[in-house]
Amino acid sequence: MKIETQVVHSGDRRRNPDAPDAVVPVTLPISTAVSYLYESTAKLDRVLGNEEEGFCYARYSNPTNAALEQLIAGLENGHGALACASGMAAVHLAILAALTDRRKSIVAASALYGANTSLLYKVLEPLGIEVHSVDICDLDQVRQAIADHRPGCVFMETISNPLLRVGAIDRIAELARAAGAALVVDNTFATPMLVRPLDLGAHLVVHSLTKFLSGHGDVLGGAVVADEEHDPKVRSISRTAGPTLGPFESYLTMRGIKTFALRMERQCSNACRIAAWLGSHPRVSRVHYLADPSHPDAAVVRRLLPQGLYGAIVSFELKDAGKEDVFRFMDRLKLVVCGTSLGDVHSLMLYPLISSHRDLAPKQRERLGIGDGLVRLCAGIEAVEDIIADLDQALA
């Protein structure tokens, strides 16, 4: 089944095997119950012990979450999925699952979302977990780091935030597996429309459901999708840690996913047009976009991404701009929304210096190539001519 069909049908109209003739709602119901009853305590005992499928306590699972998880697992070709209260909860859970039976050492991409970096160095490292950064787009560096540090986990983003670098997931997966490490990939920017990391050898995939999958700026959520080896570990940790997504958020996410494929196609198309226009603007010194044939990872992009789908994110640098210049540009925008997210139906502009990478030291941002004039645009589904017109008047 193609992804365009999966997003519409998967997870809905689930039948109860214990009541095959019961009425089945056409759309997913919202189940708010915390506890569940059975005809016998013996059956409840089997459900609690994972000897039989069923629902017993909402922190473990509930019917609304289970439907969403079935859908997301199918989109990523995973063995199972877990819906979490935020994308960062999903990242944390995935890394813990990866390290459960392995050496407490992580080799991580140096270019990451700021909160991912903070999780690694401000939460996990103080707990005794070694963290080593590497240029994930340099396979020789990755190979050497894995050999030197013998990690239990390799962590990367499919498309890095905000400079849109793309590592060779399939080759990195081979290196990780050969060393006995688990590869965890944050696939939020790419989504399963562009890349399915598990198909390329990854063990665990994480998403911020807040972004493209729910798509309407009204859900805070995350998801972990795991292979057969790691799905039980994710479930076991979550039962105790309790990063559970609420049923209302699960419902909204599933409702949003129904239009995800259509939205993503439009957003990718809009971003491509915007990037081409920005490339010739006199106030823009550099554009970062995956369709650019001179992109530093162009060969990997051509190999891993489908033709014509290069993502909805365009990062660009304002020429000779400092913080105040960027503020003036963003304050002049009338249609593009200045907000700290991405993936919504409306176009969103973000300034990494004050938001996604605010907590990084200036020298660290400089090493990563995140200058004071860099902004990140996520194209929405508006008419592209209107988006460009707004950018044009704001840059004037």
Q: What is the DSSP string of 199-260?
A: GGT-SEEEEETTTTTT-SS----EEEEE-TTTHHHHHHHHHHH--BPPHHHHHHHHHHHTTH
Q: Answer yes or no: is pLDDT of 12 > 80.
A: no
Residue 301 lies in a domain: yes
Structural domain contains residue 54: no
The answer, yes or no, to whether residue 15 has pLDDT greater than 70, is no
Alpha-carbon span 336 to 350, nearest angstrom:
10
- Active-site option among 186, 297, 372, 390: 186
Nearest to 361, CA basis, from 118, 123, 163, 160 = 118
Task: Tell me whether strands 204-208 and 182-186 are parallel, antiparallel or unpaired.
Answer: parallel
231 and 270 in a single domain? The answer is no
Answer whether residue 169 is part of any domain.
yes
50 assigned to some structural domain: no
3-state secondary structure of 119: helix
What's the pLDDT at 258?
96
**DSSP string computed for 36-104:** ---S-HHHHHHHHTTSS----BTTT--HHHHHHHHHHHHHTT-SEEEEESSHHHHHHHHHHHHHTTS-S
Q: Which among 174, 173, 154, 167 has a CA at the least distance from the CA of 107?
A: 154
| CATH code, domain carrying 112 | 3.40.640.10
Q: How far apart are the first and last CA of the chain?
A: 47
Tens-digit pLDDT profile for residues 257-289:
999 999 999 999 999 999 999 999 999 999 999
Whole-prediction pTM? 0.94
Sheet containing 374-378: order of strands: 284-288, 313-318, 374-378, 348-350, 337-338
CATH code of the domain in which 332 resides: 3.90.1150.10
Question: d(Cα 172, Cα 137) in Å, to the nearest integer?
Answer: 9
Catalytic option among 165, 196, 211, 283: 211
Provide φ and ψ at 149, rounded to 5°: -105, -10
Tell how strand 374-378 and strand 313-318 pair up.
antiparallel
Task: Examine the pLDDT at 308 and tell me if it is beyond 90.
Answer: yes
Question: Is the model's pLDDT at 194 over the cut of 90?
Answer: yes
Residue-level pLDDT at 4: 93
Residues 237 and 109 in one domain: yes
The domain tally of the chain equals 2
Q: How far apart are CA 18 and CA 47, in angstroms?
A: 14
Do 245 and 264 share a structural domain? no
Residue 18 has pLDDT above 70, yes or no: no
CA angle 348, 349, 352 (to 5 degrees): 130
Query: Percentage of the chain with pLDDT > 70?
Result: 98
Q: Give residue 144's pLDDT.
A: 98
Contacts of 104 (CB under 8 A, 6+ apart): 128, 129, 130, 152
- Which of the pair, 301 or 15, is modelled with greater confidence? 301
Mean pLDDT of the 165-190 span: 98
Whether pLDDT at 353 is above 90? no
- Residue 302 domain flag: yes
Q: Are residues 264 and 387 in the same domain?
A: yes
What average pLDDT does range 74-85 have in this prediction?
Answer: 98
Residues 303-316 have a mean pLDDT of: 97
Same-domain pairing of 365 and 296:
yes
CA dist., res. 311 & res. 213, Å (int): 13
- How sure is the predictor about 16, in pLDDT bands with cuts at 50, 70 and 90? low
Claim to verify: residue 248 and residue 269 sit in the same structural domain: no
Query: Do 342 and 348 form a contact (C-beta atoms < 8 A)?
Result: yes
Same domain, 223 and 318: no
249 and 293, same domain (yes or no): no
Q: Which of 222, 220, 231, 245 is nearest to 59 (CA)?
A: 245
In sequence order, which ranges of 221-369 are alpha helices (DSSP H)? 231-241, 247-257, 260-278, 298-304, 323-332, 362-368
Q: In this structure, which amino acid lies at residue 217?
A: G
Residue 59 bears catalytic tag: yes
Residue 29 has a CB neighbour count (10 Å cut-off) of 13
Catalytic residue (one of 113, 251, 310, 351): 113
Q: Find the catalytic residue in 59, 255, 273, 319.
A: 59
- Here the tokens at position 353 are 């210096």
Name the domain boundary from 257, 283, 318: 257
Q: Which of 6-20, 298-312, 313-327 has the lowest mean pLDDT?
A: 6-20
The pLDDT score that the predictor gives to residue 356 is 76
Average pLDDT taken over every residue of the chain? 94
Least confident of 214-223, 272-281, 292-301, 369-378: 369-378
Identify whether residues 295 and 370 lie together within a single domain: yes
Q: How far apart are CA 336 and CA 396, in angstroms?
A: 15
State yes or no: pLDDT of 22 exceeds 90.
Answer: no
Give CA separation, 394 vs 253, 288, 334, 340, 391, in Å. Answer: 33, 19, 8, 19, 5
The Cα–Cα gap between 39 and 46 comes to 12
Residue 362 binned pLDDT confidence (cut-offs 50, 70, 90): confident
Q: Strand, helix or coil at 134?
A: strand
Catalytic residue list contains 36: no
Residue 109 within any structural domain of the chain: yes
Q: What are phi and psi of 294, to 5 degrees?
A: -95, 10
Same domain, 117 and 146: yes
* Domain co-membership, 191 together with 72: yes
Task: Give me the mean pLDDT over the 170-197 stretch.
Answer: 98
Give the pLDDT score at 111: 92
Please say if 113 is a catalytic residue. yes
Same domain, 132 and 247: yes
Position 355 confidence tier, pLDDT thresholds 50, 70, 90: confident
The rounded Cα 356 to chain-centroid distance in angstroms is 14
Confidence of residue 27 (pLDDT cuts 50, 70, 90): confident
User: Across residues 355-376, what is the average pLDDT?
Assistant: 83
Q: What is the pLDDT of residue 283?
A: 97
Is position 44 within any domain? no
Structure tokens at 170: 């399939």
Q: Considering 257, 278, 293, which residue would you say is the last residue of a domain?
A: 257
For residue 241, name the pLDDT band (cuts at 50, 70, 90): very high
Q: What local confidence, expressed as pLDDT, does residue 269 receive?
A: 98
Residue 40 lies in a domain: no
Q: Residue 381's domain spans which residues?
A: 260-395
Least confident of 69-73, 233-237, 350-354: 350-354
Using a pLDDT cut of 90, give the percent of the chain over it. Answer: 86
Which of the listed residues 221, 236, 257 is the one where a domain comes to its end? 257
